[in-house]
Amino acid sequence: MSDDLSPAWYVIYRTADGRVLRGGTMPKSYIATYPAGSLPAGTAILEVNRQADIAAGEWVVGGALITAGTLSPTVSATTLDADGVDTVTISGLPNPCRVTITHSAPEITTPAPDTEVTDGTVVVTCILPGTIGVRIVSAGNQTWSGTLNAI
């Protein structure tokens, strides 16, 4: 076994939500063999390709280091008929993400007011006219908010 002592970037992150707690450099071979028992409970270490910017809010999602920011989903329309049949599709979402729907009567919208999306798409319907607020938050704390109008 050869030891690769070249420096490499690493992060230590919470396994529950991916939040980066700290980072730095150490020899590449040390990262791969870092003793799990020496990490704080509920954390893991990961080699990454750049220095983590902890102040900006960095996260590990799907084994990659990402910075919290704004999502840019595709929205099929901003207005829909309040008939329970017409839909607005919001796609290009990260997996998983949390979708929060607000309406004066949230029980009449689909999806439910607080839904986890795991396939990258959410389809919204409504049976009463009004303004529908949509907020999407990814596991990496990236966000998007928008408004739909049910007529």
Q: For residue 141, what is the domain's CATH number?
A: 2.60.40.10
Q: Do both 80 and 107 map to the same domain?
A: yes
Q: What is the extent of the structural domain holding 29?
A: 7-67
Q: Do both 127 and 112 map to the same domain?
A: yes
Residue after which a domain boundary falls, among 51, 67, 83: 67
- At residue 97's C-alpha, the angle toward residues 103 and 147, to 5°, is 30
Q: Do both 36 and 98 map to the same domain?
A: no
* Number of separate domains in the chain: 2
Is residue 2, in this structure, part of any structural domain at all? no
Q: What parts of the chain have a pLDDT lower than 50?
A: 1
Q: Do both 33 and 92 map to the same domain?
A: no
Report the pLDDT value the prediction gives residue 44, as an integer from 0 to 100: 93
Report the pLDDT value the prediction gives residue 80, as an integer from 0 to 100: 94
Is residue 1, in this structure, part of any structural domain at all? no
Report the pLDDT value the prediction gives residue 89, as an integer from 0 to 100: 96
CB of 123 within 8 A of CB of 110?
A: yes
pTM: 0.62
CB of 59 within 8 A of CB of 28?
A: no
Is residue 48, in this structure, part of any structural domain at all? yes
| Interacting residues of 5 by C-beta distance below 8 A, sequence separation 6+ | 27, 28, 29
